[in-house]
Amino acid sequence: MKTWGKMGVALCCVCLLSAFSGDKGQKDEEEKEAANHSYNPKFMQEAIRIAVENVKNGTGGPFGAVVVKDGKVIASSGNTVTPDNDPTAHAEVNAIRKACKALGSFQLTGCEVYTSCEPCPMCLGAIYWARPERVYYACTKEDAADGGFDDSFIYKEIALKEAERSIPFLNQREEGAGEEFRLWKEKEDKVEY
């Protein structure tokens, strides 16, 4: 009886501990879930602040972006196209690159992107490849067009037939084209993305 009694007490302790840690774990998860699913104006204000500062400091175009995970900023950036001589260095692309580096992953699972302006097609594509949970933006692509940026124009070009685009896209299928996909499908140890 004594042994059973001791075992019972021990068992109760284990149960209580797991219940508590279960509660805590669940609470943590719920908090993360809440942080991940609720818009927080302070992150948007930060994205706008970066955009404004970028213009004031002459360090690039008028755009800023922030990547948030579990209610915390994990990366942020302004646009650095001109100082970096990199036409792909938009705020969202920069912030996504930095966030992925911080996470050691090519995916932004469980993350949110806050950006001062509606993403251009390049940034939209980058977002789809990075796969965050959602995107919040302040200004629209019409605001960007009014500010002198091509975003709306590129959106219109995408919808056009290749021959009608201002930059021609020409299909030239050489012998051997497609071999890379055949090898890719066969490859057993490939890292998919």
Q: Which of residues 33-62 bind a second copy (CB under 8 A)?
A: 39, 41, 44-45, 48, 51-52, 54-56, 58, 61-62
User: Torsions phi, psi of 87, nearest 5?
Assistant: -65, -15
Q: Can 92 be counted among the known catalytic residues? A: yes
Q: What is the dihedral of CA 47, 125, 55, 145, to 10 degrees?
A: -110
Q: Is 106 left (phi over 0), alpha (psi -120 to 50) or beta?
A: alpha
55 versus 73: smaller Cβ distance to a second copy? 55
Give the residue, chosen from 12, 27, 131, 160, that forms a contact with a second copy under the rule CB under 8 A.
131
164 versus 189: smaller Cβ distance to a second copy? 189
Binding span for a second copy by CB under 8 A among 18-26, 27-35, 69-77, 106-114: 106-114
How far is residue 155's CA from residue 138's CA, in Å, rounded to a whole number?
18
Q: Which of 127, 138, 110, 141 is nearest to 41 (CA)?
A: 138
- Which candidate in 29, 30, 46, 92 is catalytic? 92
5 versus 178: smaller Cβ distance to a second copy? 178
Q: What are the catalytic residues?
A: 92
